[in-house]
Amino acid sequence: MELKFGSRGLACSVGLLILMCIFAGASQKNVSHAAAPSAEFVRALSHAYVNDPTLRAERETLSATDEQVPEAMAGWRPTIQVNANATYTSGTYRSNPQNGRYLYGYGYDIPGFSDGVSISEPLFTGGRTTARMKEAVRKVVSERAHLRSVEEKTLRDAEKAYVALVKNRLLVRIAAENVRVLKDESTLLRKEVSTGVATTKDVAQTEYAFAGAQADLVQIAGSLLAAQADFVRAIGLPAPDVDEFPKPLAIRVRSEGRLRESASSDNPDVKASRMDASSKEAAIAEAESALLPQISAEFSYTHGTNQDYGKSLTDNKIATIELKFPLYQGGSEFAKIAEAKRDLSAARFRVRAQIRSAEDEAVTSWRRAEADRQMISDLQRALAAAVSAFDAGQRQLVLGVNTTYELLQIQRSVIDARKRIVENLADEVDASYELASSIGRLTAFALNLPVSIYDVSAHYDRMSGANLAPW
């Protein structure tokens, strides 16, 4: 059955109306966030937390930094050295003290040995050991904060890769649906040109839209391939077949001022920069210690047997207290002090810069999330309006009021609205995780991931029991 209407020579068949109704029905399907974190999303974050090579390397870096503490504390402890050696002396002795002629002589073969022990203890180092200890401990705290920053970046990258994968899969699905509908519309219109139901202009306009939709699909499919590769790089797992966004993190923000305070106090990069500046203060004290006297004590004992040409026995016990007072050292110590002070000044400026960066990231991501949430609501209303306009356009096409081109434009607006909803849903999730990262809440513990949480103090505590015991 065919329907022909309109004074402008426009027409529409029942088959074309059916295709358009199918498109309108598909366009009304809502895309939204998951009600709860999906198993695939949790698996992706957990795998990244446990296996990411950059994060594991940073954990090893923290363990290496821990070792600087006992290295610094060694300046408080005595050093003990033991030495021993064995000798064997063989020879002949001849003597004639009167006229040089041979008077008497003897040969000898004497085994011997010597051993000894020395103990030295620094009594006063001008505060160098205390300063080194403070600097080492602060470096450990700074490195722990840096490790947390790397952990947040790892989870952030994993979330972004997962969301980008879902976004591109949904965009490919939308583009593929559009291509399929336009292809069927074009095929049907070409068949109906001969019967006079459709015109060649209608066919040309539909084929133009179809070609554009195909180009969009090819582009989006390429983006999907890139998203799959990025997923493998960020997480280390094959890209799963997922099509549902994770739920945005629910972070309560009372005011922008409170948010800035949270970012400036809890952001791990800010914490790391502050502790780095604090360690620079200890570096100044270490440099100044070179201008103060050094006092040390040493005790040694040596024992020797048969260390001369005959049988012999020696025992020596020596106790020494040494005082070193620097009078003039070429000026290098003053240069090192000035250098340390400049380093501290630079570190304090870096703290300010890091605070600004953290505050800006927190506020920007918060505003983005709020804007995306509002835009999604507006776009959903726009999509509903576009679908209604499409339904009305179908009826007007039958009556000859609308043209095929006008209906294709409405159809395009429906597709664009669906794409923008998908993109804003993805951006809302990304913004929420970025907000959590900026205020130090994007950790495996905070996300309640089903993994064994890395204990940043475990190696330090084990090392303390073995190497930090006081004398």
pLDDT of residue 77: 87
Mean pLDDT of the chain: 82
303 plus 395 within the same structural domain: no
Q: What is the mean pLDDT of residues 7-12?
A: 38
Phi-psi region of 106 (alpha: psi -120 to 50; beta: other; left: phi over 0): beta
Q: Which of 82-86, 149-153, 243-247, 339-343 has the lowest mean pLDDT?
A: 82-86
Residue 462 lies in a domain: no
242-256 tens-digit pLDDT: 989 999 888 888 888
Q: What is the mean pLDDT of residues 336-345?
A: 92
Q: Name the residue range of residue 60's domain.
A: 39-77+125-291+329-447
Among 341, 322, 332, 343, which residue's Cα sits nearest to residue 291? 332
204 plus 309 within the same structural domain: no
183 plus 216 within the same structural domain: yes
Q: What is the mean pLDDT of residues 72-88?
A: 86
361 plus 438 within the same structural domain: yes
Spatial contact of 148 and 440, defined as CB atoms under 8 Å apart: yes
Q: Which of 68-77, 188-197, 371-380, 410-419 has the lowest mean pLDDT?
A: 188-197
Find the CATH number of the domain harbouring 111: 2.20.200
Angle between helices 256-266 and 268-288 (to 10 degrees): 40
How sure is the predictor about 105, in pLDDT bands with cuts at 50, 70 and 90? low
d(CA 377, CA 421) in angstroms, rounded, equals 9
Total count of domains within the chain: 2
Residue 9 lies in a domain: no
Q: What is the mean pLDDT of residues 388-395?
A: 62
Among 396, 451, 417, 374, which residue's Cα sits nearest to residue 10? 396
Residue 401 lies in a domain: yes
Tokens for 302, please give them. Answer: 């040596």
Q: C-alpha distances in angstroms, 81 versus 113, 120, 135?
A: 17, 9, 28
Residue 99 clears pLDDT 80, i.e. is over it: no
Q: What is the mean pLDDT of residues 249-276?
A: 90
Residue 15 lies in a domain: no
201 plus 262 within the same structural domain: yes
Q: C-alpha distances in angstroms, 295 versus 72, 149, 284, 325?
A: 18, 43, 21, 9
d(CA 283, CA 290) in angstroms, rounded, equals 12
- Specify the pairing of strand 79-95 against strand 2-4: unpaired
433 plus 411 within the same structural domain: yes
pLDDT of residue 178: 87
Tokens for 246, please give them. Answer: 């994770």
300 plus 408 within the same structural domain: no
Tokens for 397, please give them. Answer: 């096409």
300 plus 385 within the same structural domain: no
Neighbours of 220 (CB within 10 A): 20
Q: Which of 200-214, 387-401, 411-425 has the lowest mean pLDDT?
A: 387-401
Length of the chain measured in residues: 471
217-220 long-range contacts, CB within 8 A, separation 24+:
217/172, 217/175, 217/176, 217/178, 217/179, 220/168, 220/171, 220/172, 220/175
End position of a domain, from candidates 325, 344, 375: 325
301 plus 442 within the same structural domain: no
84 plus 171 within the same structural domain: no
130 plus 120 within the same structural domain: no
Residue 426 lies in a domain: yes
227 plus 117 within the same structural domain: no
150-188 tens-digit pLDDT: 999 999 999 999 999 999 999 999 999 888 888 877 777
Residue 469 clears pLDDT 60, i.e. is over it: no
Residue 459 lies in a domain: no
How sure is the predictor about 100, in pLDDT bands with cuts at 50, 70 and 90? low
> Which pTM value belongs to this model?
0.80
Partner residues linked to 89 by β-bridges: 110
